[in-house]
Structure 1
Amino acid sequence: MRAVGGGFGGAVRSVIGFLGLSVLAGALAAGLVVPFAGLAGVGTGKALETVQGLPVELETVPLALRTRILADDGSLVATLYEQNRVPVALSQVSPIMRRAIVAIEDARFYEHGAADLKGTLRALVNNQVEGTVEQGGSSITQQYVKQSLLDKATTAEERRQATAVTYQRKLTELRYAIAVESQLSKDQILERYLNLVNFGDGTYGVQAAAQHYFRTSALKLTLPQAALLAGLVKNPTGYDPTNNLQRAKERRDLVINRMLELRLISGSQASAALKAPVIDLTKVQKVRNGCASSRYPFYCEYVVAKLLENPMLGKSVRERTDYLKTGGLLIRTSLDPRIQAAAQASIREHSRSTDSAIAAITIIEPGTGLVKAMVQSKPHGRGKNQTSYNYNVEKSYPGGYGGFQNGSTMKAFTLAAALEKGIGFNYRINSPEQIDLSGKKFRTCTGTTEDPNYKPRNSTRSGNLTLTEATRYSTNTYFLQLSQRTGLCRPAQIAANLGMYNAQTLKPLDQVISFTLGVGYVTPLMLANAYATFAARGKYCRPHLVTSVQDKTRQPIQTPGTDCRQVLGPEVADSVNRVLSAVMEPGGTGARLNFGPWDLAGKTGTIQDNEAVWYAGYAPNLAAAAVVADANLPYTNLQYGHTLDGRDITDPTGSGTAGPLWRTAMEGALNDMPLERFHPPPASAAGPPDPVETPPTR
């Protein structure tokens, strides 16, 4: 035998000293058979000081549990965790698994107290002979203490102390172990241990391990499966079968033979288990962590951003972030996988990730604000043709792109203000191809505004048009003159009441002369929800993604619910719906986008120089906004050098480019939904057949 650091004689002296120093017996516990002191290099006084300075009870932190985010049908959106763990009661762990872990880790667990004297003496002799602390002789209770202290550690120093290879640390574990044994039964300790320990490959606790490696539950584990898991605890990385199948088999077989040696299984059981395959690597069930690995990464990230705004999840963003990853929450969202799939199918049909232009679609439920789908053409990631930007949402969290200019989709708010003012469907304004508004004063909420050199033109039909006709054709010169009659204040107020603001600055939209032709930067989420308000007869609902949050005991945690209010008269909204329906009738800019028996309404939007094009539209059941845009500075005209679906863009308009995305998504989303109708507008909304022109507001 090799003699190092005193050799065998030194070991014998240490053991004698260990048995002789009874002064620590009272300091440790009356129930401990032999005091744990007199170890190499540790004096009795030092050991006593170490023990007496420890608290009587082991304070543990709650187990870190994984949080699940679900869609509205209960399917999984994402899992968030620091430790992938699903706690179970001991009664939910198969008896063979319990026997396996005890056999290999602490065969006398149910016979000894906090420490196993025989194991400790054996480890002490071996360590003294080798001159190092190679064997700990730790009981399962001591291992539970060590893992608890490590789990509780929040600093590098605390983690170092929890794993230090010293006799002082062993004394610390033992004192805590005595406290644990005085408070918990052996079965309770084993249950906590099985739920706490690392089983390799990112799994913690026996239930998550059973699901991960074998797609089964802890209750249904077989002998060879249990032996594999029990063997992992000593070295979760080294014996991980996904890392080294041969080492994992050798360790599993060692556990099986140990169980046979202890007569916990029969010879025939051991023989069969030894012949069984270690694992089917093709069936290993990875639990993806975080939104980036979700099927719906952009939607998921936006959900998390909204959760981090909820003070009920913690006092600070840091606390909320930690709680989301460790609290075992169950979060339900409004995402509808069927509608999401319809929107994604539209993206696949009309765009490619390699396109120079981007496409994005958001779909919302009118009357609730529930966000049902959110898709875009660039997939999530940092590689080529991928992006970390969410093109559907505002720039209020790291992933939000912050929108695009939205062009004539803004006309809907001027339309609402005009109808509210009593200007009817038949109201005519002479709308030439170009008008000179240079120096003309437009009334705002705080005074007036003007542009010294403003001579806008039409890109569609001109003439002496009615309100309905001008909306159908999206006639710019009509709506600019209409803005003179309504003033800019009321359209801006209506837009704000419907949730419109600058998605870059988060400030109100500017009240400028060209307001009705597009102003600021808006998002598909924002625009879809504003148009959903018209579908809901003037009831605005804040966009809503998180429908419920439950803690680990499945008790509800307060979270912002549906927030709706009437912001526009129902009859005014009904009138808006009637006029915007004309956009999708023959001759309208959205005529090619009509489909099926549905009542549909919408509006095109094309910004100056065609840098972005939109279509926003709705049925009574759903509202959606689709955008195609250049998302790379400096923005350039979509018609020159930009591709969509792998082809050059030749029709950079709301109807021609963004419209097909909207139609395909909505047609699929509305499929199988009940057929609903818009409420008819009041007869008075038409106005007289040949009304007297209302003068501009001064």
Structure 2
Amino acid sequence: MRTERGGRSKAHSLITFIGVSVLSGALAAGLAIPFAGFAGQGSEQVAKSVQDLPRELVVDPVAVRSRILASDGSLIATLYEQNRIPVPLDRISPIMRRAIVAIEDSRFYDHGALDAKGTIRAMVRNQTEGEVQQGGSSITQQYVKLSLVEKAKTAEERQRATAVTYERKLTELRYAIAIESQLSKDEILERYLNLVNFGDGAYGVQAAAQHYFRTTADKLTLPQAAMLAGLVKNPTGYDPTNNMARARARRDVVLKRMLELKVISLRQANQALKTPVINLKRVLPVPNGCANSRYPFYCEYVVSKLLDNPALGATVKDRDHFLKTGGLLIRTSIDPRIQKAAQKSISAHSKPTDTAIAAITIVQPGSGLVKAMVQSKPYGNGRNHTNYNYNVEKSYAGGYGGFQNGSTMKAFTIAAAIQKGVPLNYRINSPEQINLSGKKFRTCKGWTRDPDYTPRNSTHSGNLTMVEAARFSTNTYFLQLSQRVGLCPIARVAGKLGMYNAQTLHPLDQVVSMTLGVGYVTPLMLSNAYATFAARGKYCKPLVVASIRDKAGRYIDTPQIDCDQALSPQVADGVNRVLSAVMEPGGTGGRLNFGNWDLAGKTGTIQDNLAVWYAGYAPNLAGAAVVADANLPYTNLMYRHTLDGRDISDPTGSGTAGPLWQTAMQGALKGMPLRHFKAPPRKMLGAAEPRPADEGRPPDENGGGPGRR
């Protein structure tokens, strides 16, 4: 008896719920439920479902595309799960609003949460068919359904949100009642038009207007609005880029319905019917992701840094989702003018078909802002393409992880020597070849030696000063200097200037040959380290993301310019003087000088010619260029390797990588103010002996490794 009474009570609850809702005008069109169907579903079960439904729909923010911009505000890439640009209703043309109401819910402004006429019509059709065939859903109910689909995080939730069941219809109905009590009709219409799928990857009316017609939502014409309104019923089937004939037929249905409702005149209808649906040549694709960016390698590096930012979410998955749905505006460091200059240099001195690769990074001293990042192999999976970014470390999927840096490492030996009081005119007898077999070199943890090491010079020998040895890149001078100064001070300087092993992310190894190149470094690391000398000892962490704003215009936390005084200004001035000599007549970089700029730099050629470098700077910009074999196992660039379509017969830092650096920097510096290095103190020209290499301490907390200075 209790069960029978309970069943009658629940059934009564259901009937009361539907009856009151219809009578009050609160139900939205489309509750397609033939009463006979209740028996099939089980009235007790359906009634319980109604009682258990929540009364308010919590709507998640709609997915909005994010944009990555260059420093000048130009677009680099668009990231999205759904291509959407929300706009307020007053920025949607009145004819678009009238078109969507005419075809989807002509009594939208007259009924409540359910249009009784539409519901009865659907009931009759569904009763005849014996199942739910016709929905007649109102705009409010459609908005609810779209919102539920948008909220779904799993396949099961999506299936529930779209299932053709009475339970789902009732769920939508209850939510529709809540929506109608909370929002005005205009607010519902605005949300609907910004949420709905208009086909071909366009979500929301603004994105659709831009995509199909290269216009904005507020400028849509009658035939354009009718076409878009027609798409909502079947975004794929009526997509004009898939089937123009079906799209036209559907558009014309909308126009005729608008005429029937007296929304437009006969003259307007006839004129619109004669109008072409779209011009396929004018359809504006909206590329998604970095692969479609004009700077794909740089873009991917930016995204990798964004995915490291906890302000965008607790996990990488959360950050990735927010990045593609949060409507973020991400301004980056890249300068299109400088990027163009660097790309022009790459194009002038290399070809994608070369067996060797070339890469250049340019950084702004005193800020760490990465202004250009280019390479010779284009992005992609095809022949002569690559997904590797040769400019950056191996800390994310696309990073190649660098090459040994050769004699560019001598700059850090020079800085360490000056710090220890070695004057710039300090002389060391530097023969063509020396025997360092078994010689002890002081490290941060003790001593190291090489049992069989007899290095030689490839350039000038003799009794040289530091300036002269740098000009000629004399190996035997710098090996002896590093022995006298100690490897620990060199490691400490290199670490403070952001140098670490780009493959392992560990500090550089302290080995006997350290000053001639060690580990694997990247053009980004090397250019930024040299930028420290240009900035008179101020080291700044490399920075690619300048700012992030959410769709409300609020700033989101992101690392900002982060600098410290890694070297004293006087030590940096001394390094600048020494490395300027490299670019004077007779120096290894003498042929690379240009204009009236104060320039400094250093060549680098690693053992067996596996890679060659040129790193250099003006007070305004610093850059590093590398030419290398990027295939495993690495082979000598002299043998069966090409650059710019020609065999590399004599790979050198100055002759092979140098021209890439020169052309890029000359173009990048064009139009910038002429600045000069500051002369070092006179006392640096003395003849004092260096202090002994007694450094037994490890590098300090800023002494190496990723994120260290």
Indicate the TM-score class for this superposition, using the shorter chain for normalisation.
over 0.9
Is the contact between residue 417 and residue 690 of structure 2 (CA under 8 Å) also seen in structure 1?
no
What residue is the counterpart of 1:137 in the other structure?
A: 136
Paired AA for residue 71 in structure 1? A
Whole-Å separation in 1 of the counterparts to 2:378 and 2:493: 35
Whole-Å separation in 2 of the counterparts to 1:283 and 1:622: 41
The 5-angstrom pairing of residues 374-393 of structure 1 reads: 374-393=373-392
Is the contact between residue 409 and residue 518 of structure 1 (CA under 8 Å) also seen in structure 2?
yes
Paired AA for residue 222 in structure 1? T
What residue is the counterpart of 1:508 in the other structure?
A: 507
Is the contact between residue 27 and residue 52 of structure 1 (CA under 8 Å) also seen in structure 2?
no
Whole-Å separation in 1 of the counterparts to 2:211 and 2:20: 44
What residue is the counterpart of 1:531 in the other structure?
A: 530
The 5-angstrom pairing of residues 236-315 of structure 1 reads: 236-315=235-314
Paired AA for residue 541 in structure 2? R
Shift of 1:44: 3.5
In the alignment, does 2:17 pair up with 1:24?
Answer: yes
What residue is the counterpart of 2:157 in the other structure?
A: 158
CA 539–694 in structure 1, closer or farther in 2 if over 3 Å, else same: closer
Is the contact between residue 24 and residue 48 of structure 1 (CA under 8 Å) also seen in structure 2?
no
Is the contact between residue 360 and residue 623 of structure 2 (CA under 8 Å) also seen in structure 1?
yes
Is the contact between residue 58 and residue 180 of structure 1 (CA under 8 Å) also seen in structure 2?
yes
Is the contact between residue 37 and residue 47 of structure 1 (CA under 8 Å) also seen in structure 2?
no
Paired AA for residue 460 in structure 2? R
Residues 158-200 of structure 1: CA distance to partner in whole angstroms, max 9, x if unpaired?
A: 1111111122221211111111111111111111100110001
Whole-Å separation in 1 of the counterparts to 2:348 and 2:263: 61
Is the contact between residue 616 and residue 622 of structure 2 (CA under 8 Å) also seen in structure 1?
yes
Shift of 1:383: 1.2
Whole-Å separation in 1 of the counterparts to 2:20 and 2:436: 93
What residue is the counterpart of 2:114 in the other structure?
A: 115
Shift of 1:682: 1.2
Whole-Å separation in 2 of the counterparts to 1:619 and 1:535: 7
Residues 630-679 of structure 1: CA distance to partner in whole angstroms, max 9, x if unpaired?
A: 00000000000001111101121100111011011001100111111111
Whole-Å separation in 2 of the counterparts to 1:575 and 1:39: 93
The 5-angstrom pairing of residues 394-473 of structure 1 reads: 394-473=393-472
What residue is the counterpart of 1:623 in the other structure?
A: 622
What residue is the counterpart of 2:75 in the other structure?
A: 76
Is the contact between residue 485 and residue 690 of structure 2 (CA under 8 Å) also seen in structure 1?
no
Structure 2 unmatched ranges of 5 or more: 1-10, 695-709
What residue is the counterpart of 1:667 in the other structure?
A: 666
Is the contact between residue 36 and residue 127 of structure 2 (CA under 8 Å) also seen in structure 1?
no
Structure 1 unmatched ranges of 5 or more: 1-17
SS of alignment partner, residue 97 of structure 1: helix
Shift of 1:53: 1.2
Shift of 1:336: 0.2
Shift of 1:121: 1.4
Is the contact between residue 197 and residue 205 of structure 1 (CA under 8 Å) also seen in structure 2?
yes
Residues 42-67 of structure 1: CA distance to partner in whole angstroms, max 9, x if unpaired?
A: 34333322211100001211100111
Whole-Å separation in 2 of the counterparts to 1:414 and 1:110: 78
Paired AA for residue 320 in structure 1? R
What residue is the counterpart of 1:38 in the other structure?
A: 35
Shift of 1:228: 0.6
In the alignment, does 2:47 pair up with 1:54?
Answer: no
Task: Tell me the number of residue pairs that the alignment of Structure 1 and Structure 2 aligns.
Answer: 678
What residue is the counterpart of 2:543 in the other structure?
A: 544
CA 539–136 in structure 1, closer or farther in 2 if over 3 Å, else same: same
Paired AA for residue 227 in structure 1? A
What residue is the counterpart of 1:167 in the other structure?
A: 166
Shift of 1:128: 2.5
The 5-angstrom pairing of residues 4-23 of structure 1 reads: 22-23=15-16
What residue is the counterpart of 2:126 in the other structure?
A: 127
Residues 291-328 of structure 1: CA distance to partner in whole angstroms, max 9, x if unpaired?
A: 11100111111111111111111111111111101111
Shift of 1:408: 0.2
Paired AA for residue 652 in structure 1? P
Is the contact between residue 38 and residue 44 of structure 1 (CA under 8 Å) also seen in structure 2?
no
Whole-Å separation in 1 of the counterparts to 2:688 and 2:530: 30
Is the contact between residue 431 and residue 478 of structure 1 (CA under 8 Å) also seen in structure 2?
yes
In the alignment, does 2:336 pair up with 1:343?
Answer: no
Whole-Å separation in 1 of the counterparts to 2:403 and 2:36: 72
Is the contact between residue 430 and residue 463 of structure 1 (CA under 8 Å) also seen in structure 2?
yes
Residues 241-269 of structure 1: CA distance to partner in whole angstroms, max 9, x if unpaired?
A: 11111111111111011100100000111
CA 695–86 in structure 1, closer or farther in 2 if over 3 Å, else same: closer
Between 415-424 and 375-384, the greater mean CA deviation after superposition: 415-424
Paired AA for residue 663 in structure 1? Q
Is the contact between residue 342 and residue 666 of structure 1 (CA under 8 Å) also seen in structure 2?
yes
Whole-Å separation in 2 of the counterparts to 1:199 and 1:312: 32
Whole-Å separation in 2 of the counterparts to 1:372 and 1:406: 21
What residue is the counterpart of 2:607 in the other structure?
A: 608
What residue is the counterpart of 1:567 in the other structure?
A: 566
CA 79–21 in structure 1, closer or farther in 2 if over 3 Å, else same: closer
Paired AA for residue 243 in structure 1? N
Shift of 1:381: 0.8
Residues 306-362 of structure 1: CA distance to partner in whole angstroms, max 9, x if unpaired?
A: 111111111111111111011111111110000000000011111111111110000
In the alignment, does 2:345 pair up with 1:352?
Answer: no
SS of alignment partner, residue 395 of structure 1: coil
What residue is the counterpart of 1:148 in the other structure?
A: 147
SS of alignment partner, residue 509 of structure 2: coil
Whole-Å separation in 1 of the counterparts to 2:620 and 2:17: 76
Whole-Å separation in 2 of the counterparts to 1:466 and 1:20: 99
Whole-Å separation in 1 of the counterparts to 2:575 and 2:648: 31
Is the contact between residue 360 and residue 625 of structure 2 (CA under 8 Å) also seen in structure 1?
yes
Whole-Å separation in 1 of the counterparts to 2:387 and 2:127: 56
Paired AA for residue 594 in structure 1? N
What residue is the counterpart of 2:700 in the other structure?
A: none
Per the normalisation by structure 1, the TM-score is: 0.95
Shift of 1:680: 1.2
What residue is the counterpart of 1:326 in the other structure?
A: 325
Identity percentage of aligned residues: 73
CA 156–27 in structure 1, closer or farther in 2 if over 3 Å, else same: farther
Paired AA for residue 38 in structure 1? F
Paired AA for residue 459 in structure 1? S
Paired AA for residue 578 in structure 2? V
CA 27–630 in structure 1, closer or farther in 2 if over 3 Å, else same: farther
